[in-house]
Amino acid sequence: MTSPTIKKETKNKIRVEFERTPLLERLKAKFINLYTVKRVVWYLFRFLLLLGISYVILFPFFTKISSSFMSPEDFVDVTVRLIPRHPTLDTYKAVIVDNKYFEALLNTFILSLTCGLIQTFICCFVGYGFAKFKFKFNDLLFLLVIFTMVVPHATLQLSLFMEFRYFDVLGIVNFLGGGVIDSVKILESTSINMINTNAPLYILSFTGLGFKNGLFIFLMRQFFKGIPDELEESAYLDGSGVFRTFFSIIIPLSVTMMITVFMFSFCWQWTDNFYTELFYTTSGDILLPDIIKVPKSLDTNYAGQALYTSAIRNTCGILILFPLIILYLFGQRYIVQGIERSGITG
């Protein structure tokens, strides 16, 4: 090897040129080897797989959107697949006007918001109780929470309906209504009919029995278990009570998790059709499930009927989902963060 040639020399600096392997060969050695090739292939495979699955997830939304803009002629035109030839807003107009979309939206919004807020707070409360306090039967009672999760609400369909159709707690209403002693008759009937009101869902939310509330309590409990006990102990030492500690220290810490739970409960209540069909009869308030039908002003009786009806249903779906999509765009990072921080362990 020859000695390095001096390129430039100043008073206190010296630049020397070594003989180096050419750039091309260096790059070859760096990138064309099994390790790098394996990594690139794996990276591409992963990326393509994720893209493919994303496509599978997003495709139904795309068909929903595109079919909602199609006019009736497009469904009999075999050359039209994904992009409407005669874009129209008639379907939207008909669904919004005929099916009373905005009325349903408002009713469902009030219902979902109230239920979501109540459920979030109650599950937070109960989850904290299970996570941080040692008392007798703690584990046993938590098993009951799991039990409420395991029993499908469809099993209880009939008795849920009966419970709230003839609502009574410990026979108090029955007693006041004169069911036990005839002379005591403060109320008109021996039970309260809660069908067609929001009361059944509010009551279920308040007692942590709403849709998938067992899961929320579970998530909250896991999250609180991850918060170090020392935090609360130092608060107790400073003279803060249990509840003050909860409200001024724990709640601010768990905002992300609470947003996650709120989004779950809000969205699941929003798209729920089990409870709404159970507790609301056709004579009651219009909720979002009620708008899924063919509007009167649209004539579907022609060759493309099956597709057109399906497109109308999809349009209803879009209208129902629209507020949720906006909510999701703002809230999705909280979901990911919230779940990541919960650190669920078996």
Partner 1 sequence: MNVDAKAPKKQKIQIDNAPGKKRKRSASLDVRKARAGWIFILPFLIGFVLIYLPIIFDSIKYSFHEIKILVGGGYELEWVGWKNYSDAILVDTSFVTTLVSGLKQLILDIPSIVLFSLFVAIILNQKIAGRAAFRAIFFIPVILTTGLISDIDAGNTMNEYMGNAEGIDDGSGQESAATEIVSVMDVERLFSNMMIGTEIVEYVVSLVNNIFNIINRCGVQMLIFLSGLQSISPAIYESCSIDGASGWETFWKITLPMVSPMILVNSIYTVIDAFTSADNQVMAYISTVYEEANGNVLSSAMSWMYFLVVILIIAAVAGILGSFVFYQRRD
Q: Which positions from 132 through 171 interact with partner 1, judged by CB under 8 A?
A: 132-138, 141, 144-145, 148-163, 166, 169-170
Convert residues 32-71 into a mask of x (bound to partner 1 by CB under 8 A) and - (unbound): -----------x--xx-xx--xx-xxxxx--xx-xx----
Determine contact, residues 201/119, Cβ cutoff 8 Å. Answer: no
Question: Helices in the chain by DSSP H: which ranges?
Answer: 23-31, 34-68, 72-76, 90-98, 101-132, 138-150, 157-165, 172-176, 199-206, 213-225, 229-237, 242-245, 251-253, 255-270, 274-279, 305-342
Q: Is residue 109 involved in binding partner 1 (CB under 8 A)? A: no
Q: Could you say which residues in the range 210-269 bind partner 1, by CB under 8 A?
A: 215, 217, 236, 242-243, 246, 263-264, 267-268
From the list 209, 227, 251, 253, which residue makes contact with partner 1 (rule: CB under 8 A)?
Answer: 209
Query: Beta strand pairing status for 14-17 and 5-9?
Result: antiparallel
Instruction: Enumerate the β-bridge partners of residue 15.
Output: 8
- What are the backbone dihedrals phi and psi of residue 285, each rounded to the nearest 5 degrees, phi first? -60, 150
From the list 29, 48, 180, 336, which residue makes contact with partner 1 (rule: CB under 8 A)?
Answer: 336
Q: Is residue 91 involved in binding partner 1 (CB under 8 A)? A: no
**Mapping DSSP to helix (H, G, I), strand (E, B) and coil, where does residue 188 land?**
coil
From the list 31, 102, 247, 328, which residue makes contact with partner 1 (rule: CB under 8 A)?
Answer: 328
Interface with partner 1 (CB under 8 A), residue total 110
Q: Is residue 104 involved in binding partner 1 (CB under 8 A)? A: no
From the list 95, 173, 204, 294, which residue makes contact with partner 1 (rule: CB under 8 A)?
Answer: 204
How long a stretch of residues is the chain? 346
Q: Which stretch binds partner 1 (CB under 8 A): 16-24, 73-81, 91-99, 109-117?
A: 73-81
